[in-house]
Structure 1
Amino acid sequence: MTPEDWIAHDPDPVTAAELAACSPDELTHRFATPLRFGTAGLRGPVRAGPDAMNLAVVLRASWAVARVLSAHQRSGATVVVGGDARHGSAQFATATAEVFAGAGFSVLLLPEPSPTPVVAFAVRYTGAAAGVQITASHNPASDNGYKVYFDGGIQIIAPIDTEIEEAMADAPPADTIARRPVTPAGDELAARYIARAATVRHSRSGVRVALTPLHGVGGKVAVAVLRAAGFPDIHTVSSQFEPDPDFPTVTFPNPEEPGATDALLELAAEVDADVAIALDPDADRCAVGVCGPQGWRMLSGNETGWLLGDYVLSKLPTARAGGTVVATSVVSSRMLARIAQHYGSRHVEMLTGFKWLARADMPPVGLRHATLAYAYEEAIGYCVDPEAVRDKDGISAAVLACDLVASLRDRGSSIPQALDGLARRHGVHVTDAVTRRVGSPAEAAGVMARLRADPPDQLAGFAVAASDLLHRSGPVTDALEFAGERDGTAVRVVVRPSGTEPKLKCYLEVTRPPSEDLAGDRAEAQRVRQAVADVVRAW
């Protein structure tokens, strides 16, 4: 479709006027690379043109998803649609619902801005054929996205994403796509989610919680879930509680970013909280803060992943453990594999992203004769109740984290002591992430090509072997792994381009076997980690 045709058929007069005012060079740029399906959907800046998120793109994407569902004999089935509180989300969610209704599907449109896990839960709970959540998760305020779930509330993978892209290329002009008004559903699905998420706890003791949803849509639901779970003593960061698409108090609305949780940790110290919880804007990620010998700090995604995984497995009956599987991504720490072995459970390492992790017990990509009990990725994503939500869920993870803190306190222990216990049992695991912002995907691809053509054979004095995850059996991903060992210390680095942001990411892990000298092992592992980080920053 030419820019002139697109403008003539743009159903939004604002974006049509925006394109009409663009210079020829800018028009060429915006039409050169239409949005592609990446992490289970589309994600990009909110502005006019096929390379961004706008009404025309959303209408065409919804038409394409409906077409693919029909091609897979799901015509007339139920589709769940939700959206967060970002710029454009309400308009995009309504338009998405109207396209599915116009195509003959039964549509459940959630009545207000909703956390992503509620949509994932609703698809699974209702047996819907698909779900769409309008969200850009923790991306900058300028972005929005279109996330697609199919059967079981699991993010789509190939070939479905390719089929949708191909259908989008054949979509009719946006203003000719059939739409039918949809009356939003009631609050029942959100209430069902709240009731289910509250059940993941095991202890009965309470804790004092400091909470921030970082201007996202998780605050109201998280408070309701925590209270239903028996945690009424909740203190929230008032300046960040209400949804605000501009995220005014943070540079980046991601709990992992420096400074993003400063207000939360200040509140936690002020109210003498037992645990601090930060959700990302669509509440599918959860960061946990604790007070230790040096004061309050946020745990790394891996540290929380180890703790929750150990807690989940410790609560399984011994007879069930052998039939369960836990999963991590290739860029996450490998300690969970040792934890699983300790409990007699199975562990599998999946590709990055919950579209893969959620399939850890689903052949051909996952294990046979196993039931997924838990999955996590280092980017503060945790699936703690796979029967209900087959995706990362920051709210249910928050409940389990609070429950773990309460359980440890009942035994006279704490999170720092629990981490020490894991290190004594399974060895010291020190992790880090080095992020390099790039100007474009092409720049990231250039670095990856250079590393493939001339892979390093040493890292900070460690001889390492390279593995290319783009050329392996089974599902592949654009990533390189470098691993080596010397005198009991092992190093591992995985480098890959981000699937959602202009970044090149390097994931580091240094491990040492269990010993009596925990402090010395940690100091040595940290020394090696710093040396390796210095090397990869120069890549």
Structure 2
Amino acid sequence: MDTQLKFRIKHWLENDPDPHTQHELQALLDDGNETELRQRFCGRLAFGTAGLRGVVKAGPMGMNRLVVAQTSAGLGAYLKQQVKDVESRGVIIGYDGRHDSKQFADDAAGVLTAMGIKVYLTYKVAPTPLVAFGVIHLNAAAGIMVTASHNPPQYNGYKVYWGNGAQIIPPHDSAIAAYIDKAATQRISLLPLEVASAQGTLEILGDEYYQIYRQGVKHTAVLQNHTQPQLVSLSYTAMHGVGAEMAETVLSDAGISKVYSVAAQREPDGDFPTVNFPNPEEKGGMDLVIAEAQKHGAMLACANDPDADRFAVAVRTVTGNYEMLSGDQVGVLLGHYLITHAPKNKHLTCTTIVSSTLLSKIAASLDATCLTTLTGFKWLANAGMAAQNDENQCLFAYEEALGYMVGSMVWDKDGLSALVAFAQLAAELASQGKTIWDRLEDIYRQHGFHLNTQVSIALKPTTPNIGAYLREKLPSMIADKQVLSCDDISCGLRTFRDGSTETIDLPVSDVLIFKLQGGGRAIVRPSGTEPKIKCYYEVVTTMTDQDTLKSVQARAQAEMDAFILAHQASLPQ
């Protein structure tokens, strides 16, 4: 083992406050497991726009108490440099129900209060939206949420919000990362929480704070449609996360009383014992909540992910079975519903480049505005904030990965307010003798059936760089469709079929968007480091008078399958 690696391990062991991870690292040393030690110390868990996320383990490449302390020290130093009154404005910190989350939140609070920065710490587990909400409500300089969202049990994370209540975007992410690197070379002080509390630099946010969020949802302007809520029945699962208590409460506040929670998944449990992967999008993730819905004959089967910022729903069909809606379908339904009920000064919606184009068409038909941003709620929230004005306030934002922002009380995805909005939509439709499926069909008949699919394509190690290959000679055809334009987000340029160009106002990202004749679309996100690309496809099919939802979906799926096959075949092997 070389001297530099030995020094880094020694430095780590001397600074690690956790006996458990100290022992874990010492055991690797005692066993002479140099391969594993090199992997643990080959770099540092990357801090980006989503903060940190990784497997809980000893060393700088894992999530652990020392990494959290160093991250908090770096964040605190950056805040002091950027925000003149950070000490008094403070930072709000919350945490989910994973095994290490409370300890990590306590450590972050100990580091920041030792730096003289006031901390507001939730007294128990909290849904992520409550922390994003708290940044604005408390006028805090920043927010920290300790969560790994819907990742597997061995993961944890550290999510950062800026003082505007939205997730951080460049240049804050890279600047904070540089401050963290500096903090990692220094000894870090943690103030005991009882000392911080006695000094007045730590304030515990008790139940009254949770009630403020609850009342905020109850009085949100776009959640005031109380059309016969008694007609709705739904099953609900928190997926062993932290959403159940607040979800049941805000539904009750909205008059929705027929709510059947999945008892086996209601309480926080960091082992997630009843699911292979705690994500409602994953196969089997919705099985128990659908079974609960069938047991009661409920209209909807609803889920939040473990930190309750995402929302998923399966809807009962005429045959009594339940079909999961895609993230795009939920986004389109909520967008259409909210636009048609919104005040005149609240018609700004936002979606992402990889989400369905259907929301923008709906918005245009209803004299509303729809912005398109890069993927991720950090972009959606910041873009919505920047674009709104007194005449056009932000109403709704969504991304296809089950993330929805209803209104602007929370400038991030909020699975709790989305749950209430969807239940209110279902109630209104039921009062008219209609279903969610009827509303979807009406939308598709007006704007076309939109089918969206995401595919990751693994290529051979010898395959040339896909991005460079496509940019060198832009394709004129994809499958049997003419390419009408290509958006190259890496240089902010849209190139049309005739060779003319125009600029695109989006942050730089390695993404190519091909818009096709007939309304279809192919999006390619190349990887510069491995032979792999992620592709997003959209097929738009006219719905005829003879079509049913089932028949048009089957036709669109057949077109999609052929589209994907032809596109993959056109790429270099």
TM-score > 0.5, shorter chain as reference: yes
Cross-structure match for 1:17: 23
Distance (Å, rounded) in 1 between the aligned partners of 2:172 and 2:147: 20
Aligned counterpart in structure 1 of residue 564 of structure 2, from 509, 533, 539: 533
Aligned counterpart in structure 2 of residue 415 of structure 1, from 408, 420, 436: 436
Determine if the alignment matches structure 1 residue 510 to structure 2 residue 539: yes
Q: Deviations over 1:87-118 (max 9, x none)?
A: 31011001111111111112110011111001
Letter in 2 for 1:177: S
Aligned counterpart in structure 2 of residue 373 of structure 1, from 370, 377, 395: 395
Please say if residues 229 and 399 of structure 1, whose CA atoms lie closer than 8 Å, have aligned partners that are also in contact: yes
Please say if residues 198 and 396 of structure 1, whose CA atoms lie closer than 8 Å, have aligned partners that are also in contact: no
Q: Deviations over 1:18-41 (max 9, x none)?
A: 223332222222222311123421
Cross-structure match for 2:330: 304
Moved more, 426-435 or 324-333: 426-435
Shift of residue 293, structure 1, vs aligned partner: 3.3
Letter in 2 for 1:341: A
Change (3 A) 1:312 1:232: same
Cross-structure match for 1:215: 240
Cross-structure match for 2:519: 490
Moved more, 149-158 or 391-400: 149-158
> Which secondary structure does the structure 1 equivalent of 2:152 belong to?
coil
Shift of residue 446, structure 1, vs aligned partner: 6.1
Alignment RMSD (CA, Å): 2.6
Unaligned 5+ runs, structure 1? none
> Identity of paired residues, percent?
39
Cross-structure match for 1:470: 490
> Which secondary structure does the structure 1 equivalent of 2:382 belong to?
coil
Cross-structure match for 2:276: 251
Q: Deviations over 1:68-102 (max 9, x none)?
A: 11111233122100000113101100111111111
Determine if the alignment matches structure 1 residue 123 to structure 2 residue 135: yes
Change (3 A) 1:343 1:412: same
Aligned counterpart in structure 2 of residue 167 of structure 1, from 155, 179, 194: 179
Change (3 A) 1:389 1:39: same
Determine if the alignment matches structure 1 residue 187 to structure 2 residue 213: no
Shift of residue 187, structure 1, vs aligned partner: 1.3
**Aligned residue runs from structure 1 range 267-346, under 5 A:** 267-294=292-319, 295-317=321-343, 319-320=344-345, 324-346=347-369
Distance (Å, rounded) in 1 between the aligned partners of 2:205 and 2:459: 42
Letter in 1 for 2:561: Q
Shift of residue 434, structure 1, vs aligned partner: 2.3
Letter in 2 for 1:215: H
Distance (Å, rounded) in 2 between the aligned partners of 1:269 and 1:291: 9
Please say if residues 434 and 537 of structure 1, whose CA atoms lie closer than 8 Å, have aligned partners that are also in contact: no
Please say if residues 345 and 393 of structure 2, whose CA atoms lie closer than 8 Å, have aligned partners that are also in contact: no
> Which secondary structure does the structure 2 equivalent of 1:429 belong to?
strand
> Which secondary structure does the structure 2 equivalent of 1:44 belong to?
strand
Please say if residues 198 and 399 of structure 1, whose CA atoms lie closer than 8 Å, have aligned partners that are also in contact: no
Letter in 2 for 1:306: V
Letter in 2 for 1:261: M
Query: Which of 1 and 2 has greater Rg?
Result: 2
Please say if residues 111 and 188 of structure 2, whose CA atoms lie closer than 8 Å, have aligned partners that are also in contact: no
Moved more, 473-482 or 343-352: 473-482
Letter in 1 for 2:289: L
Shift of residue 463, structure 1, vs aligned partner: 3.4
Distance (Å, rounded) in 2 between the aligned partners of 1:228 and 1:316: 21
Shift of residue 220, structure 1, vs aligned partner: 1.5
Shift of residue 362, structure 1, vs aligned partner: 3.7
Letter in 1 for 2:112: F
Distance (Å, rounded) in 2 between the aligned partners of 1:416 and 1:198: 27
> Which secondary structure does the structure 1 equivalent of 2:38 belong to?
helix
Determine if the alignment matches structure 1 residue 392 to structure 2 residue 413: yes
Unaligned 5+ runs, structure 2? 1-6, 198-203, 493-504
Distance (Å, rounded) in 2 between the aligned partners of 1:9 and 1:452: 48
Letter in 2 for 1:460: A
Please say if residues 428 and 518 of structure 1, whose CA atoms lie closer than 8 Å, have aligned partners that are also in contact: no
Please say if residues 226 and 255 of structure 2, whose CA atoms lie closer than 8 Å, have aligned partners that are also in contact: no
Letter in 2 for 1:139: N
> Which secondary structure does the structure 1 equivalent of 2:451 belong to?
strand
Distance (Å, rounded) in 2 between the aligned partners of 1:154 and 1:229: 26
Determine if the alignment matches structure 1 residue 71 to structure 2 residue 97: no
> Which secondary structure does the structure 2 equivalent of 1:214 belong to?
coil
Shift of residue 250, structure 1, vs aligned partner: 1.3
Moved more, 80-89 or 529-538: 529-538
Distance (Å, rounded) in 2 between the aligned partners of 1:535 and 1:161: 39
**TM-score normalised to the size of structure 1?**
0.91
Letter in 1 for 2:16: D
